[in-house]
Structure 1
Amino acid sequence: MENQAPRDFDEGMLEVGDGHSIYWRAQGPRDAPVMLVVHGGPGGAMNLKWADVLEPDAWRVVFFDQRGCGKSTPFGKLEHNGIEALVGDMEKLREALQIERWALFGGSWGTTLALAYGVAHPERCLGFLLRGIFLARREDIDWFLWDVRRVFPDAHRAFLDAIETASGKRPASAPEILQLTEAPLARFDEAGTQLARAWTRYETTLSVVNKPEKEPSDEAKRPSAEANAAAISMALLERHYMAHELPPAPLLPQVARVAHLPCRIVHGRFDMVCPADQASALAAHWPGAHLAIVDAAGHWTFEAGNVAALRAGAAALAGAVKQT
């Protein structure tokens, strides 16, 4: 029997304790510096397209799905699912893959988690590429859940309509949104699924300034098991973290632990999920960081301006890492 050609990536499941196992995937040159991709959410999943903004030969790219989402198991489990646990999972993954140091590429919630890992393990970090900063302060959560209605009154009204349909009561504040969505999302039934999809539609609407020229086909718009699962994990875990895990210990006062490392920050000026003052605040605490505020761009990674700035940032970070 002929030997099969080796795959161009490695993957596996890593048991991290508390009944959780996380899925990981590594690709790219094995002798290159390592970039860990930290996905958003909470409750998102790895997106291999993120590697497209990195020079293909400059990095060994490691992806992973955080607890309870993507291909990690068990799906949607909230027990033992918090920031400290996720930071611990990242360190266990580094040890399992025998990586001495790595850079971190995070977006949105992924910036929160990347920074939390960095301040916990600065000696294991090469540098940071961060897009769409989310500092997870109370005012940042309140903006997403409530205050953004001043810019998107129609989308916010539709979001509240969905919550009222699922729970029987219309929320009158950000805390009430978290209170009233808990039970419906936890049921995993049709009503909970519809609420999860409404939550996802709301966040997507806030995320994109420049919509793709080609709208999805009618077939692509139809509900599917995969789309439902993605919506459930995003809404379920975002609500869980906003209600029980956030805000964390303030990140900005701890930035000094990693401020000696190179950092490239990319943020859309019209980001309605995570307003750009968060990126400015982070840069103010990180004197050596380079901040790119991208005009005519929002929260979505793949808006043209964000992609161009990320590619430039990734190339600059690669150059800085080579000098260390």
Structure 2
Amino acid sequence: MYPPIEPYLTGKLKVSDIHELYYEISGNKDGTPVVFLHGGPGGGTDPQDRSFFNPDKYKIILFDQRGSGKSTPSASLEDNTTWDLVKDIEVLREKLGVEKWHGSTLSLAEEYVAPIPEEERHDMILAYHAQLNSVDEETRIRAAKAWSKWEMATSRLYVDPAYITRAADDDFANAFARIENHYFINSGFMKDGQLLEKQSIDKIRHIPTVVVQGRYDVVCPATTAHALKKAFPELTLHIVPDAGHSAREPGTSKLLVEATDKFADL
């Protein structure tokens, strides 16, 4: 990955009566515009996300999605769907005067189940949904920390204690868990298999696409990447043999940087 850099511009963008998004720009002011879409949903951006891109070639745009990171109101689920986020990306593009840009998209078992009564464990997403939206703040935060710790722990092939500490932060855990669960319980606001349908793939088939997938990813299993490759054979698929879900595992980050370097020269 590239060395750490600081943004030369930060700002807030009002996208609805409720939501205001944090955004930042770093790298080359005259470079190829690239927007980084953070994980979760609900995870927010991290300064390390800038380092996937060559700062001499890219105008690097990061933003926190609705309810995430520095965007406000934190952890809000109101007017927070996949399609709201899609519209926000377009509003941000227009705000920054970008004609077009490249896009990058880019937890421990007992602690995960502990907040959930045994009789509710047949549907963990639904059970967590109830607790993450409880009127009792202590219940919400306890569930949010358990949910977030589970994902932090399962995101890498080898558990990284330092990475898991993010889940101890009340604000981060609350936003990450509530928003991610909100999307899960609503099936991403899409019908099953919608993104793999021919009419969906045909809209992007002409765009050079690289998918970097960890072989041992238990958050978004490799079968999903293979299904996409089958529907979209023109894409380049890399399976990283010694990686899980996190984009910051060495093999994965190396291939992501190689991909952004390649795109910079298109």
**TM-score, structure 2 length as denominator?**
0.89
Query: Counterpart of 2:22 in structure 1: which amino acid?
Result: Y
Within a 5 Å distance, the mapping from 1:10-21 to structure 2 comes to: 10-21=9-20
Query: What letter is aligned with 1:41?
Result: G
2:147 is the alignment partner of 1:199: yes
User: Could you tell me how far apart the structure 2 residues matched to 1:280 and 1:18 are?
Assistant: 40
1:172 to 115, 121, 135: 121
State yes or no: 1:258 paired with 2:204.
yes
Deviation string, structure 1 residues 269-307 (Cα, Å, up to 9, x no partner): 000101101111112222321111000110011111111
| 4+ long deviations beyond 3 Å | 155-158, 220-224
Partners of 2:201 and 2:251 in 1: CA distance: 27
Aligned twin of 2:42:
43
**Match for residue 160 of structure 1 among 113, 125, 130:** 113
What corresponds to 1:233 in structure 2? 175
Letter in 2 for 1:189: E
SS state at 1:257 partner: coil
Native 8 Å contact 2:13 2:20 kept in 1: yes
Q: Which runs of 5+ in 2 are unaligned?
A: 1-5
- SS state of the match for residue 104, structure 2? strand
Which letter maps to 1:191? T
Deviation at 1:47, TM superposition (A): 1.5
2:131 aligned partner, one-letter code: P
Counterpart of 2:132? 185
Report if aligned partners of 2:26, 2:50 keep a CA contact under 8 Å in 1. no
Task: Return the match for 1:274 from 197, 216, 220.
Answer: 220
Q: Name whichever of 191-200 and 97-106 sits farther off.
A: 191-200
Q: Distance in 2 between matches of 1:236 and 1:265?
A: 27
| Distance in 2 of aligned mates of 1:26 and 1:204 | 27
Are 2:196 and 2:231, in contact at CA under 8 Å, matched by a contact in 1?
Answer: yes
2:167–2:173 contact (8 Å) kept in structure 1: no
Equivalents in 2 of 1:94, 1:310: separation in Å?
23
CA contact (8 A) 1:210 1:303 kept: no
**Partner residue of 2:3?**
none
Structure 1 residue matching 2:41: 3-state secondary structure: coil
The answer to whether the Cα contact below 8 Å between 2:45 and 2:63 also exists between their aligned partners in 1 is yes
Answer yes or no: is the 8 Å Cα contact 2:37–2:104 preserved in 1.
Answer: yes
Match of 1:61 in 2: 60
**1:91 and 1:209 mapped to 2: Cα distance?**
35
1:24 positional shift: 0.5
Q: Distance in 2 between the 1:223 and 1:195 partners?
A: 11
Residue 198 of structure 1: CA displacement?
0.6
Match of 1:144 in 2: none
| 1:7-156 to 2 correspondences below 5 Å | 9-107=8-106, 155-156=108-109
Judging changes above 3 Å, is the alpha-carbon distance between structure 1 residues 34 and 221 closer, same or farther for their aligned structure 2 residues? Answer: closer
Do the aligned residues in 2 keep the contact of 1:94 with 1:100 (CA within 8 Å)? Answer: yes
Label 1:57 to 1:170 Cα distance change in 2 as closer, same or farther (>3 A).
farther
**How much has 1:312 moved relative to structure 2?**
1.3
Alpha-carbon shift at residue 208 of structure 1 (Å): 1.0
Going from structure 1 to structure 2, the CA distance change for 1:223 and 1:20 (only over 3 Å counts) comes to closer
Q: RMSD in angstroms over aligned alpha carbons?
A: 2.3
Q: Deviations over 1:80-113 (max 9, x none)?
A: 1111111111100000100000000004xxxxxx
Identify unmatched segments of 5+ residues in structure 1.
1-6, 108-151
Q: 1:216 to 1:47 in 2, by over 3 A?
A: closer
Aligned equivalents of 2:100, 2:23: Cα separation in 1 = 17
Q: For residue 213 of structure 2, what is the amino acid of its counterpart?
A: H
Q: Distance in 2 between matches of 1:243 and 1:156?
A: 20
Distance, in Å, in 2 between the alignment partners of 1:256 and 1:78 is 31
The 8 Å contact of residues 81 and 189 in structure 2, kept in 1 or not, is answered as: no
